[in-house]
Structure 1
Amino acid sequence: MQHGICTLSVVPARKEPSGKSEMVTQLLFGEHYTVLEIGEDWLHIKTAFDHYECWINSKQHTRIQENTFKQLEKQEGVYSNELIQVILNKTTETRFPISIGSSLPFYKNNESNFESLNFTFEGATCSSKVKKSVKDILSTAYLFLNAPYLWGGKSPFGIDCSGFTQLVYKLNGYKLPRDAYQQVELGLPLSFVEEAEAGDLAFFDNEEGSIVHVGILLNNEQIIHASGCVKIDKFDHYGIFSSETKKYSHTMRVIKRLM
């Protein structure tokens, strides 16, 4: 079985093996994966962090040995904790930006070294083993304010609703699945909006009853979420009330407490 790792700033991952297919998620620098199927120009992969299946272009694939993959699975996750920071490829002496939430494999003494690749990163980092407080989760969420909405996006340059919640929680020591309909399966449901607290996740559905949106509560009256851009709106037991349109934009389904 073949494995790979992302050595670019960000790689689009698609629903089907075509550049015209919808982008369903992104790989950030340092994220590793298993190759499920090899096509002519595309690879069907499963991401290691959230077991998400998608397709990436074979030109954006860096192969790693199975032993390296197994070691990565056992390693503490170390992530960039700055919106944007430069990393240095010591092998090629080239610098390029990586975004918040990017992984730093085998990170030690400001270096990330694996197989024949050597990188230097001197920015702020955080660990997957350190579960932080609600205050920290909100501070991280505020960093993304005004980030544009992008279906499948996972960076400050474009992010979707579940990518936003997943990334915010990831940076604070909690692992969530990729999509809103998966995230809603976690946590303890609350009976009333009045019981909601900062850090809870609120989920919203469509007319068919499918979960289509998620956001992080700031209190029991406000929510930060990605819709058009990452923004703060009012919410109640009906749903999210848009301050721009003066209408309800999303219909409340359930509030879940994960912490």
Structure 2
Amino acid sequence: MTALLPDRRLNAYRPDLAEARLAGVVTAARYTEGDPARLAVPVAPLRPRPDAAAGIDTELLFGETVRVLDRADGWAWAKADADGYVGYLPETALGPAAAATHVVTAPRTFAYAGADLRTPAAFPLSMGSRLSIVGKRETRGTRYLTLDGGQSVVAAHCRPLDAPADADYVAVAARFLETPYLWGGRSGFGIDCSGLVQLAMAMAGRPAPRDSDMQADGLGEPVGREDLRRGDLVFWKGHVAIMEDEATILHANGHTMSVAREGLEEAIRRIGWLYQQPTGYRRP
């Protein structure tokens, strides 16, 4: 019987190169620990191959860290530190590694050229972005934090990484209502069903796998449909929704092309003709 190869989404290996921890598991010409780097753009797609026409598997957010395994032809082959996802992104999206001190808590905000809302917006930031803060300023009563790149962000839109997180991940997910649906998206600019679960839970200090099949396989414990309550997850083949209460779900979906609130029974009837009945229910 042929041994199953490790999941390529979470394990970096090619015939010419593999991550060091896979030595003895997969065959490659050489192995590497990779080099640390962090995302230097607001959001970057992570793709299954070095091709801008390839689909998006997931996204990395500003300040998130990776291990770069290879660089070639303008592409970096990298593994995300937060969830272990592997893929390709433009080499220009990466900068030197640096320790983050704060995380963005607003669904969307801006880094400004200066500590003043009247200065030009330098770039947008999504919830979950990691910031290295080096100073503080106040302008007309509004407090700003200074990034290590010189830009400023509104202090009320961030929290220190060592501060308590919002324990209610469902309330975090609800803040994304009407955010556009984006296959592979994982930000306040566009998000998919499992990205919503992962990002909302991360903001509550609860790590979760990236894709819905990974979440269905090992996130929390199975529960019965009759026992569903706030915070439980409902899975269909290729889809996941969050229970807002015992009768209502929150989910990023291709029907409304947004993060939407919907009755569970209505969703089951609507989704059933194409994707059949739910495949399971879990309590994180």
CA deviations 1:11-55 (Å, max 9, x no partner) are: 122111000111111111111111012221211100111111010
Alignment of 1:1-259 (within 5 A): 1-64=34-97, 68=98, 72=99, 78-88=102-112, 95-105=122-132, 109=136, 110-113=145-148, 117-123=149-155, 124-126=157-159, 130-133=164-167, 136-184=168-216, 185-190=218-223, 192-205=224-237, 212-228=238-254, 229-236=258-265, 240-242=268-270, 251-258=277-284
3-state SS, counterpart of residue 23 of structure 1: coil
CA deviations 1:127-170 (Å, max 9, x no partner) are: 5663533xx32322222112221111112321111111111111
Change (3 A) 1:81 1:131: closer
Percent identical among aligned pairs is 28
3-state SS, counterpart of residue 196 of structure 2: helix
**Unpaired segments ≥5 residues, structure 2:** 1-33, 115-119, 137-144
3-state SS, counterpart of residue 27 of structure 1: strand
Which stretch of the first structure deviates more once superposed, 94-103 or 9-18? 94-103
**Matched residue, 1:209:** none
Q: What is the distance in 1 between the residues matched to 2:92 and 2:166?
A: 37
Q: What is the distance in 2 between the residues matched to 1:257 and 1:201?
A: 6
Per the TM alignment, residue 94 of structure 1 is displaced from its structure 2 partner at its CA by: 6.8
Runs of 4+ in 1 over 4 A off after TM superposition: 106-109, 245-250
**Matched residue, 1:208:** none
Q: TM-score, normalised by structure 1?
A: 0.79
CA deviations 1:99-145 (Å, max 9, x no partner) are: 122112357742343xxx44432242245663533xx3232222211
User: Whose Rg is larger?
Assistant: 2
Q: What is the distance in 2 between the residues matched to 1:104 and 1:63?
A: 13
Q: What is the distance in 1 between the residues matched to 2:135 and 2:242?
A: 33
Which stretch of the first structure deviates more once superposed, 36-45 or 117-126? 117-126
Which amino acid is 1:132 matched to?
D
Per the TM alignment, residue 235 of structure 1 is displaced from its structure 2 partner at its CA by: 2.1
Aligned residues: 232
3-state SS, counterpart of residue 130 of structure 2: coil
3-state SS, counterpart of residue 234 of structure 2: strand
Q: Is the 8 A contact 2:209 2:219 kept in 1?
A: no
- RMSD (Å), alpha carbons: 2.6
